[in-house]
Amino acid sequence: MQWCFSQVKGAIDDDVAEADIISTVEFNHTGELLATGDKGGRVVIFQQEVENKNLPQFRSEYNVYSTFQSHEPEFDYLKSLEIEEKINKIRWLPQKNAAQFLLSTNDKTIKLWKISERDKRPEGYNLKEEDGRYRDPNTITALRVPILIPMDLMVEASPRRVFSNAHTYHINSVSVNSDNETYLSADDLRINLWNLEITDRSFNIVDIKPANMEELTEVITAAEFHPLQCNTFVYSSSKGTIRLCDMRVSALCDKHSKLFEEPENPSNRSFFSEIISSISDVKFSHNGRYMMTRDYLSVKIWDLNMENRPVETYQVHEYLRSKLCSLYENDCIFDKFECCWNGNDSVVMTGSYNNFFRMFERGQRRDATLEASRENSKPLQVLKPRKVCTGGKRKKDEISVDSLDFNKKILHTAWHPQDNIIAVATTNNLYIFQDKVN
């Protein structure tokens, strides 16, 4: 599989404004829309142009469709703490009518946004004067029905629901249920279940807060609903475990139905073992049979029917294992990488450092390291596979581990649900790549 550069969005200059740092990327269910959230609380939605779809060598481009400020910074006066406006997650709802809906969340508040188009406006009212004042009804002698005339497309985003005050700790995940009526939100210690229509009430379905906070040793890091079974969800922990819960068993899902955990390889034990085992993302496959987890060094694919070990493990950047102490010192070891599946669950993708991202073709047992950079951004330029040299002689075109830029991390990636189009977020730029079509 070969990938070509398609587009890049965002400022070119190296001086990154903190508000522009991309914090989440998500395609909608058809892939027509691509949403990004940033640290400044804004959401930018790109739309795929459909005109050129027929041209085989030229896939449609994504252009800005809507931009809006989703969250504002807030101040918690009680604790004298600032609540960041950074968008942690965006999740699209399946489309039910002409409008699009998405959930966006910061650390404390989830909002349901409606994005609707307006491309016509009514004209021909005879009730008002030119300046907008209402005419004297006595002067109106005829009934005139206004007609709709086309206007420039206007995309409006309006907040339809605000779900707040249900999380004491920082929200890390939201996931829409397949029933399209409910969704879950997860913070470090609790998971709440919401009805999309009801904002003043949520049900707590998981609570791992110990009675004595001194005993706290594990937090929730990610949660997701099963794509097909509306009663099933999973949540991952900082200790590298994943719990699958069935909401039919009991209303409170503190007791898991399944516990997925791989026994640790004793020869790999180090001071950092627990930190690198912390799962930063969990994603079900589209067919609902597997789930993928991302920890610091690897991506693991689990069969939902087998709890004691993953069925596949892919090393993302094993060369970092000997650098863990330095990565601990500069805090990179706490970076949370996400991962994603392609449309038919045959390939998985995740990010790394130096603006590298990795792809693993499951069936072929092939993997590739690609780079998102301005240097490789000529239109339809094929991406050259990159290679990291770990020791010994460095070959030409290889990059040595010590030359990697740990400031340039790709934490967020997304794959189009049907086509081979991927969105890769560097610090403040969004790259769109598509597979090479001959």
Residues from 180 through 209 that contact another protein (CB under 8 A): 181-182, 188-189, 192-193, 199-205, 207, 209
Q: Does 156 bind another protein (CB under 8 A)?
A: no
Q: How far is the CB of 234 from another protein (least distance, A)?
A: 18
State the residue for tokens 């892939």.
31
Q: How far is the CB of 129 from another protein (least distance, A)?
A: 46
Q: How far is the CB of 187 from another protein (least distance, A)?
A: 9
* Cα distance between residue 318 and residue 299, in whole Å: 11
Nearer to another protein, 107 or 224 (CB): 107
Q: Does 268 bind another protein (CB under 8 A)?
A: yes
β-bridge partners, 56: none
What residues from 75 to 94 belong to the interface with another protein (CB under 8 A)? Answer: 75, 77-84
Whether the Cβ atoms of residue 256 and residue 204 lie closer than 8 Å to each other = no
Q: Does 173 bind another protein (CB under 8 A)?
A: no
Whether the Cβ atoms of residue 74 and residue 57 lie closer than 8 Å to each other = no
Cα–Cα distances in angstroms (integers) from residue 430 to residues 10, 136, 175, in the given order: 6, 55, 23
What residues from 23 to 42 belong to the interface with another protein (CB under 8 A)? Answer: none
Dihedral of CA atoms 221, 225, 226, 231 in degrees, nearest 10, equals 120
Q: Which helix (H) or strand (E) holds 81?
A: strand 81-83
Q: How far is the CB of 308 from another protein (least distance, A)?
A: 12
Q: Which of 20, 155, 230, 394 binds another protein (CB under 8 A)?
A: 230
* Cα distance between residue 433 and residue 422, in whole Å: 5
Q: How far is the CB of 272 from another protein (least distance, A)?
A: 7
What's phi and psi for 277, nearest 5 deg? Answer: -85, -10
Q: How far is the CB of 98 from another protein (least distance, A)?
A: 28
Cα–Cα distances in angstroms (integers) from residue 416 to residues 85, 157, 300, 342, 433, in the given order: 27, 23, 21, 7, 10
Q: How far is the CB of 109 from another protein (least distance, A)?
A: 11
Q: Does 211 bind another protein (CB under 8 A)?
A: yes
**Residue 211: which region, alpha, beta or left (left: phi > 0; alpha: psi -120 to 50)?**
alpha
Q: Does 247 bind another protein (CB under 8 A)?
A: yes
Q: Which of 72, 119, 197, 318 binds another protein (CB under 8 A)?
A: 318
DSSP 61: P
Binding window for another protein (CB under 8 A); candidates: 7-15, 26-34, 129-137, 361-369: 361-369
Q: How far is the CB of 302 from another protein (least distance, A)?
A: 12
Length of the chain: 438
CA-closest candidate to residue 49, choices 153, 136, 135, 129: 153
Nearer to another protein, 63 or 268 (CB): 268
Q: Does 221 bind another protein (CB under 8 A)?
A: yes
What residues from 323 to 352 belong to the interface with another protein (CB under 8 A)? Answer: 323, 325-332, 334
* Cα distance between residue 86 and residue 137, in whole Å: 52
Q: Which of 95, 313, 381, 420 binds another protein (CB under 8 A)?
A: 313
Q: Does 308 bind another protein (CB under 8 A)?
A: no
- Per-residue binding string, another protein, 385-414, x by CB under 8 A, is --xxxxx---------xxxxxxxx------
CA-closest candidate to residue 293, choices 236, 345, 244, 336: 236
First-to-last C-alpha distance (Å) of the chain: 11
Q: Does 15 bind another protein (CB under 8 A)?
A: no
Structural tokens at position 1: 């599989």
Other Cβ atoms within 10 Å of 394 Cβ, number: 15
Q: How far is the CB of 201 from another protein (least distance, A)?
A: 6
Cα–Cα distances in angstroms (integers) from residue 311 to residues 259, 268, 308, in the given order: 15, 20, 10
Q: Does 384 bind another protein (CB under 8 A)?
A: no
Binding window for another protein (CB under 8 A); candidates: 123-131, 270-278, 412-420, 425-433: 270-278
Nearer to another protein, 253 or 423 (CB): 253
Q: Does 256 bind another protein (CB under 8 A)?
A: no
- Provide Rg for the chain, Cα atoms: 24
Q: How far is the CB of 28 from another protein (least distance, A)?
A: 25
* Cα distance between residue 338 and residue 88, in whole Å: 12
Q: Which of 274, 307, 345, 419 binds another protein (CB under 8 A)?
A: 274
Q: Which of 278, 285, 413, 434 binds another protein (CB under 8 A)?
A: 278
Q: Does 310 bind another protein (CB under 8 A)?
A: yes
